Structures are given as structure tokens and as C-alpha cells.
Structure 1
Amino acid sequence: MRFVVLDINIVANYICLCLIDAGDTPSVLKLHKLLYYVQSWYLALNGEPMFDEKFQAWVHGPVSRVIYNRFKDSKSMYSQIDIEDLDIVDLEQEFLSIPEEAKEHIENVLESYGDLSGVELERLTHKEDPWIKARVGIPKYERSENYISEDEMKKYYEEMITVE
């Protein structure tokens, strides 16, 4: 089902609040990876992105520049995100803007990946083709701002669906 493309910050807030509600305090690193998996699986299942944001193939895995910029002045990648960090003006209004199908998709991704730490998620993304292909020719610990192809994300996770 198609809906208006969501703002990545609203999706990030929803992910964080779901995790906090479940007793987890997510790190910035974990948030980046979960957003990546939300987008990847959405592309595979629906053929289009949930939100209009690309991921870069950083040393520590996929990173959204928008989310990085949001937290860079107050948080490191390993810092925990608390509810106060989310700066939500109107929680009810913000979450009403997320269609139920999108919430269900996000919650399904959290069910699959939410118990993993940011470092575990980083290791997982490092084994997957979309991140690997975006970093071809780049030394292991060298910075990169190469974008991870949404076509590669879609293709890779579609193939995972057919394997399962």
C-alpha cells in the first residue's frame, strides 16, 4: 500500500520510542542500522522507499547523513538516545502521521533486529552485499561517503525473502 513518503526523523523517533518502551536505550549506531533495515525491507516488500533518505557506506555500516547531523553535536555513534534527545513537540500528532501499515512494518523489523546491539547490527551489515558493493575499492577503515544503492538494497532483501 502506498502512502506519502515519511520523514526519516519521524521514523527514527518511532523506532526509539518503541525500543525505549520495551526497556532498551538504543545507541545512535543502533538507530542508523535499524533505519537501514526498515528501509531495505520496505524496498524489498513494496518496491519503493518508506522515507526519502539515502544511506552512506561508512566504516561502521550504513549511516543516514540526516540522522548523523541531528545527533552529531551532542552524541557519538555509541551514545545512548534517551526520550529527551528526541525533541518531540507533539507526540500524538507525530505518530498519527505514520500510517498503520508503516508502523506494522517498523515493528516487524524491530521484532527481527531490535534485540541486537548496534555493534552486532554493524557486523551484520558488513556481511551483506549492498554495503560491501558500496565500499568496493575502499580500505577497511577508510572513510567513505559513497551511497548504498537502493536498487542493491531492494534486490538483496528480495532474494532473502525467496530464500526464507
Structure 2
Amino acid sequence: MDEMRESTVDRAMAAAQTINALSRVFGEMQAQKLVYYAQAWSLVWDGRPLFSNRIEAWQMGPVVPSLRHALHVIQQAPPAGVFTASEEATLDAVTGYYGAMGGSALGELTHREGPWREVWGDRPRDAQCSDPIPLDAMRRFYTRMALRGEGPRRPMTPTVEASDGAIERIAADTSRRWAKTLAILGS
């Protein structure tokens, strides 16, 4: 079902719209950085990306190119049913932690952190770059932060009754999602 939702809805845009609904976004730079942090913390907490859109290391920090010049769309209501309860909780936690910061402050913060810095390297401040920020670099950096007790707190998601069929689907999805990791750990 996640694959179907991903193909029919731009989940990065839906994340930006959800963040805007939670805490009014005041500019594209702020929206870009909040979406970046939502992706980072989803990787840490859920072990998977929130969206498939590429994040690039631009001069002003991480950017999802598909969200560029889309503030008017970001300010629309988010589509319903795009995210799971866990994903919604991640968006809420990230917005609660970073949402009061403006775009410039968030940009400066991302410049001090490893994933953007590693890709940007020693380029001059006014250089151009569109190199991708690897998801693994984001996962490693923000996992270390979480282990030090830094960053937003992982949200608790409510438990719900599930049918046997739903549990079997979840188990199969989880097995597929973690197959590579489990194979690496087993060798």
C-alpha cells in the first residue's frame, strides 16, 4: 500500500503541507529544511525514508528540488490518508522541535551538521552544487544525535487492534524492508 501511495502522491509535498498545517511555514527555505529533518528522523525512528524524492546539497543547505518554488502549493491543505500514524507522529515531533526556527537559522544548523557538510565538502560558499545527500549519511548522523539524547524525542504512536491478515501483511512488509540489513547482520 505504501508503494501505491508513493506513486500517486508526492509524499515530500504532502510532508511539507502537513508540516505547514502543524506550524505555519513562513518561507520556502524553512519548508525545505523541515522536510529534510522529517526525512532524517524518519530514517532514524522508522528505519525507512518518509518519501522517495531526492535531497540535494545546495548552497543554502539541503533542498528537495521538487519542492522548489512550490510555497503556494505547500500552503494548501495536505491530502488525507497519505501517512501512517507513525509517520504523522514523526512529522509532528520534527515540527514541534524545529518548527519555531526560521529558514536562515535552520539553514545554518544544517550547514553545521555532517550530511550536508560531507557532500558540500570544501566548495566555496558561493559555489553551485546539486549532489545528492545520501540517506545512509543522514541515518548515521542523526542516529548518533539520538543516541546522545539530542534532537527531537521519538514520538509514541498509539497501538490499535489488528486483524490476523493485517498482522501477516505487516510481518511480510517488515521482512522485505529489513531483508538486506538482516542478511548483512547474519553474515
- Short-chain TM bin: 0.7 to 0.9
SS at match of 1:57: strand
Contact 2:13-2:74 at 8 Å conserved across structures = no
The reply on whether 1:155 has 2:159 as its aligned counterpart is: no
Contact 1:3-1:99 at 8 Å conserved across structures = no
SS at match of 2:37: helix
Contact 1:32-1:67 at 8 Å conserved across structures = yes
TM-score norm. by structure 2 comes to 0.70
Work out which of the two has the higher radius of gyration on C-alpha atoms and give 1 or 2: 2
Name stretches of at least 5 consecutive residues in structure 1 with no aligned partner. 72-80
The reply on whether 1:97 has 2:82 as its aligned counterpart is: yes
The reply on whether 1:16 has 2:39 as its aligned counterpart is: no
Q: In the aligned structure 2, how far is the partner of 1:102 from the partner of 1:41?
A: 10
Q: Counterpart in 1 of 2:161?
A: none
Change (3 A) 1:87 1:62: closer
Two-structure CA RMSD over aligned residues (Å) = 2.0
Per the TM alignment, residue 112 of structure 1 is displaced from its structure 2 partner at its CA by 0.5
Amino acid at match of 2:118: K
Q: Counterpart in 1 of 2:37?
A: 37
Q: Counterpart in 1 of 2:126?
A: 141
Q: In the aligned structure 2, how far is the partner of 1:86 from the partner of 1:156?
A: 27
Q: Counterpart in 2 of 1:62?
A: 62
Q: Counterpart in 1 of 2:47?
A: 47
- Give the number of the structure with larger relative contact order, counting CA–CA contacts within 8 Å between residues 6 or more apart: 1
SS at match of 1:95: coil
The reply on whether 1:115 has 2:119 as its aligned counterpart is: no
TM-score norm. by structure 1 comes to 0.80
Q: In the aligned structure 2, how far is the partner of 1:87 from the partner of 1:133?
A: 32
